[in-house]
Amino acid sequence: MNKPLRRVAIFCGLLVLALLVRVNWVQFVQAEELSTDSNNRRVAIGRYSQERGDIIVDGKPITGHRETTGSDFKFKRTYKNGPMWAPVTGRASQAFGANQLEELYDGILTGDDDRLFFNRTLDMITGKEKKGGQVVTTLNAKAQKAAFKGLGSKKGAAVALDPKTGAILALASTPSYDPSSFAGNGADDEKAWVKLNKDKDKPMVNRALRETYPPGSTFKVVTAAAALENGVVDDIDANTKSPLPWQLPLSSRNLENEGNIPCENATLRDALRVSCNTVFGKLGDDVGRDKMVEQAEKFGFNKEVFTPVRADKSVYDDKMDRPGNALSSIGQFNTATTPLQMAMVASAVANDGKLMEPYMVDELRARNLTKVEQHTPKEMSRPLKPENAQKLQDMMETVVQDGTGKNAQIPGTTVGGKTGTAQHGVDNSEKPYAWFISYAKTDNGSPVAVAVVVEDGSANRDDISGGGLAAPIARNIMEAVVNDDK
């Protein structure tokens, strides 16, 4: 072969080699990136060409699908009682994407998860159309209905947990929205999306997981736990050394109580029963900031929680001064918490001091209902020794029997709880938040712990209280679970 021909042959060989390298690079290295590219419409068309799997509550689907018209996307998502379940399911929209369970388990619901490879292969061999699997939740439909109905037209949130396992039984947030209203990609979907995003009440914010509030007097349960765990208090029925008035440390300001209540040297039981700021502010100061931070973190503060949907971290400041710590010990200053976090506090107390990791998905299934994954309950921490948890149970049960939480009483069932009316706005200028945390106890232990927060801007300021607004909602949720557990 002469020299010019050899050069041409070598050049052509290099071109073929470059082509082979490029083809393999695209097929194997860039395959996933290209298949998930938002501009790859073929992927989107394929995604919506089949029926999406369902999210299950109590054995029944709370999601569905229907065929569309005037679009190359064949199926779109539908929701049953969409506003009630939106805080659980999230959305799956052709135009605006997915979030929460719809996003986290998208692979299972579309059938594209690697764990469904065998099922996909079998369906291909047998000629069945591709279809997604199921996400089976831990939610209790009756408890969810009680929470959503109880909150009604008020802003707020409610969370119910099974203290023994950490399973989420109810997760409600109001005002809410219907994910079906923008599940497609048409003009009506865009109009609904824009309207929801402009709504000043923020209906698409999951208040149960993503909103933090000052916890008010419900945080006194954490302070009581810290006092018991650190030996500041041993006997819950012995008088505390709590003067009235009590002056904040390093300050000329006195810490005030709500009304003329018997707080001077009150026992820990009575202080929780009538909600004495002076007693718990002093206890927080006696325990000290670092030990208070340690106790709060044992309950889950200062870190995000994954249910698997992410919940914002609740905050107990680890750098504040002594007055700040005293105020934080009664749920004021800059202490902030999600409703989920306060349900975790009540849950740990009810479960004799053991805090279980909260979760809302029990199992994942293929389309033929075979299990792909089964959740195993996990212990998260032990905020309290069993004997101290039982002392705190005794105190919280007194709150409901003969204190500020009487509206949570359930005939034939032991209920423990704590009310809270949290300050809101600069110098408490806004209407306060109403809180209630609680648990119910039967002969078989405690099947449910609850936290409810209500932002009721329409109520008269003097009518806003945890016992008045939040406790009845918590009672109805607990009653739904207890009756379902029989």
C-beta of residue 47 within 8 angstroms of C-beta of residue 36: no
Side-chain-side CA neighbours of 30 within 13 Å: the count stands at 8
CA-CA distance, 321 to 285, in Å (whole number)?
A: 10
Q: How many CB atoms lie within 10 A of CB 378?
A: 11
CA distances from 459 to 349, 435, 469 (A): 31, 15, 10
Assigned token pair, 376: 């195993």
C-beta of residue 113 within 8 angstroms of C-beta of residue 198: no
Assigned token pair, 269: 């039981």
Which one is catalytic: 93, 173, 181, 217? Answer: 217
Q: Look up 429 and say whether it is catalytic.
A: no
Please spell the DSSP secondary structure of 217-279, one letter per residue.
GGGHHHHHHHHHHTTS-S-TTSBP---SSEEPTTSSPEEPPSSS---TT-BHHHHHHHT-HHH
Q: Would you say the C-alpha torsion 464, 466, 472, 476 has a positive or negative sign?
A: positive
- DSSP H helices, 277-318, are 277-287, 289-298
CA-CA distance, 148 to 141, in Å (whole number)?
A: 10
Strand partners, 357: none
3-state helix, strand, coil in the chain (%, to 5): 45, 20, 35
C-beta of residue 359 within 8 angstroms of C-beta of residue 377: yes
64: which residues sit within 8 A by CB, 6+ positions away? 54, 77, 78, 79, 80
According to DSSP, residue 385 is labeled -
According to DSSP, residue 458 is labeled T
Catalytic annotation, residues: 217
